[in-house]
Amino acid sequence: MTRIIGITSDLHETRHRVSVAYANAVLKGGGTPIILPPLIGEELKYISICDGFVFSGGDDPNMERWGVSTHPSATVVRKQRQEFELSLLEKLQPLPEVPVLGVCLGMQWMGLIAGGILDQDLSSPIAENHADTEHAIEGTIGSGLVHSHHHQAMTTSGNLMVAARAEDGVIEAIQDESRNWYVGVQWHPERTTDEVLGQGLFDQLVAAARSGVTT
C-alpha cells in the first residue's frame, strides 16, 4: 500500500510553492506526495492524512522566538510559514512512529525545537564551502558529496544526535534514533546525486512510513 508523504511549501506573494524535485523524489521512493499549504490550524488534519512528512528548505528563521535577535543578514521566512511549520513539528513530537525528513530550513527547525543553537551567519571561508555548491560530508548517516545552499547552520544539536559533519566541521545532519525515522539534513537531497545521501533519504522515509503504525 502506498504511503502519503506531506511536503511543506513556501509562501511567495499570492502563491504556495515548493520545488518539484521533492515530489519527484517521494514518488520515486514509492510514496504519494502531497503539498501542504502553511495553513495555521490545519496541522492535526494533515497529520491524520499523512504517513510521513518532508519539511522543505526555505529562508531563515525569525530567532526572536528563542530569545535571540535575528541577524541583519537574514532573509526571514514568512511569519505564517514559521508558525505553521513549528506547530506541525511540535505536534509530531509525541508521535515517534511518524517519519520526518527536515531539509535545510527543515533541519534547523528540528534542531531549534530540540534546544540546539543556530549560527545565523557562517564566517568566511566556511561560508563559501556551503554557498550553492557540492562538498563532502561524513557521519553515521553516510559519506559522500552533497549539494548545499545555506549561510546558517546549527552549532549544537540540542537533544538530537549529530549524524554527519562537513570537512570544515559544520553540522550537516541530525537525527533521533529513538524514533521510527527522524532525520534532518542541512544539504538538499533532492539536488544531491549521491544515491545514499540524495534519493536514498526519500527511499528511507517512505520505507519508514510503511513500517510505522500510522494512518
Model pLDDT for residues 98-110, shown as the tens digit of each residue: 999 999 999 999 9
Interatomic CA distance for residues 98 and 92, integer angstroms: 7
Q: Which of 79, 150, 87, 84 is nearest to 121 (CA)?
A: 150
Mean pLDDT of 99-128: 90
pLDDT value of residue 215: 36
In which domain, by residue range, is 135 found? 3-211
The model carries a pTM of 0.94
Into how many domains does the chain fold?
1
The CATH number of the domain holding residue 154 is 3.40.50.880
Q: What is the mean pLDDT of the chain?
A: 93
The sign of the CA dihedral 84, 210, 139, 126 is: negative
